[in-house]
Amino acid sequence: MLLDLSEYAKITLGRFNDTISQANTALGIISSEQWDDCSPAHIGRMRQLSVDIMTIDEIVYYRNGRLSCTIWGNTNRAILERAPDHTLPNGVGITLNVESTVSRGGSMVAVSHRGHAVLVKPQRMVDVLLDTHATLGVAMDGGRLVALSGSADPELLAVLTSGPAVGADARHFYASVGGPGFIAFAIAERSAIEGRWREELWLLLPLGGVVSLVLVATVAWFSRHRLSLRSELASAIRNGELVVHYQPIMSLGTGRCVGAEALVRWQQPDGRMIPPDSFIPIAEEFGLIADITDFMIDRVVRDLADMLAIDRSVYVAINIGASDIGSGRFLPVLDRALARWNVAAPHVWLEATERGFVDADAARKTITAARAAGHLVAIDDFGTGYSSLSLLEKLPLDALKIDKAFVDSIGKDAATSIVIPHIIGMAKELSLAIVAEGIETEEQVDYLRKAGVKLGQGWLYAKAMPLGDIIDYYGHNKAGPWDGVPVDALDQADGA
Ligand SMILES: Nc1nc2c(ncn2[C@@H]2O[C@@H]3COP(=O)(O)O[C@H]4[C@@H](O)[C@H](n5cnc6c(=O)[nH]c(N)nc65)O[C@@H]4COP(=O)(O)O[C@H]3[C@H]2O)c(=O)[nH]1
The 10s digit of each residue's pLDDT in 425-464 is: 888 888 999 999 999 999 999 999 999 999 999 999 999 9
Question: Looking at residue 11, what is its pLDDT?
Answer: 84
Residue whose CB lies within 8 A of the most ligand 1 atoms, among 74, 233, 244, 280, for a mutation test: 280
How far apart (Å, rounded) are the C-alpha atoms in residues 391 and 325?
Answer: 15
* Cα 45-49-51 angle, rounded to 5 deg: 115
Nearest CA to ligand 1 atom 31: 319
Backbone dihedral region for residue 185 (phi beyond 0: left; psi -120 to 50: alpha; all else: beta): beta
* Cα 269-282-401 angle, rounded to 5 deg: 100
Q: Which atom of ligand 1 is nearest to the CA of 276?
A: 33
CATH code assigned to 125-226? 3.30.450
How far apart (Å, rounded) are the C-alpha atoms in residues 113 and 249?
Answer: 44
CATH of 12-122, one of 3.30.450.20, 3.40.1360.10, 1.20.210.10, 3.30.390.50: 3.30.450.20
For the chain, the first-to-last Cα distance in angstroms comes to: 77
Q: Strand, coil or helix: what is 26?
A: helix
For the stretch 208-252, pLDDT in tens is 556 666 665 655 554 454 456 677 788 888 888 999 999 999 999
For residue 251, how far is its CA from the centre of ligand 1 (angstroms)? 19
Nearest CA to ligand 1 atom 8: 438
Pairing of strands 433-436, 455-456: parallel
Nearest CA to ligand 1 atom 36: 276
DSSP state of 359: S
Question: Looking at residue 217, what is its pLDDT?
Answer: 61
pTM summary value = 0.62
For residue 49, how far is its CA from the centre of ligand 1 (angstroms)? 23
ipTM for the assembly: 0.94
Question: Looking at residue 419, what is its pLDDT?
Answer: 75
CATH class of the 240-494 domain in this structure: alpha beta
Instruction: Detail the DSSP E strand segments found in 2-151.
Output: 58-63, 66-70, 73-74, 86-87, 93-98, 108-113, 116-120, 134-140, 145-148
Q: Which atom of ligand 1 is nearest to the CA of 351?
A: 16
Residue whose CB lies within 8 A of the most ligand 1 atoms, among 319, 320, 384, 444, for a mutation test: 319
For the stretch 22-38, pLDDT in tens is 899 999 999 999 999 99
In sequence order, the β-bridge partners of residue 265 are 243
Cβ atoms of 449 and 458 within 8 Å: the answer is no
Question: Looking at residue 204, what is its pLDDT?
Answer: 43
Question: Looking at residue 221, what is its pLDDT?
Answer: 54
Nearest CA to ligand 1 atom 13: 263
Low-confidence ranges of the chain (pLDDT < 50): 104-105, 130-131, 196-197, 199-201, 203-205, 222-223, 225-226, 386, 487-496
Question: Looking at residue 189, what is its pLDDT?
Answer: 82
Q: Which amino acid is at 252?
A: L
Residue whose CB lies within 8 A of the most ligand 1 atoms, among 318, 437, 448, for a mutation test: 437
Q: Which atom of ligand 1 is nearest to the CA of 440?
A: 45
Whether 125-226 and 240-494 share one fold: the answer is no
Q: Which residues contact 112 (CB under 8 A, 6 or more apart)?
A: 27, 81, 84, 92, 93, 94, 95, 118
Q: Which amino acid is at 367?
A: I
Q: Which atom of ligand 1 is nearest to the CA of 401?
A: 15
How far apart (Å, rounded) are the C-alpha atoms in residues 22 and 121?
Answer: 14
Domain boundaries of the chain, sorted by first residue? 12-122, 125-226, 240-494
Cβ atoms of 376 and 346 within 8 Å: the answer is yes
For the stretch 249-264, pLDDT in tens is 999 999 999 999 999 9
For residue 413, how far is its CA from the centre of ligand 1 (angstroms)? 25
Closest by CA to 210, choosing from 6, 63, 460, is 6
Question: Looking at residue 200, what is its pLDDT?
Answer: 46
Q: Which atom of ligand 1 is nearest to the CA of 381?
A: 15
Kind plus residue range of the DSSP H or E element containing 436: strand 433-436
Question: Looking at residue 227, what is its pLDDT?
Answer: 53
**Distances in whole angstroms, Cα of residue 319 to Cα of each of 208, 239, 240, 280:** 53, 21, 19, 11
Ligand 1 pocket, CB under 6 A: 247, 263-264, 275-277, 280, 289, 292, 296, 319, 321, 351, 353, 380-381, 404, 437-440, 457-459, 464
For residue 381, how far is its CA from the centre of ligand 1 (angstroms)? 9
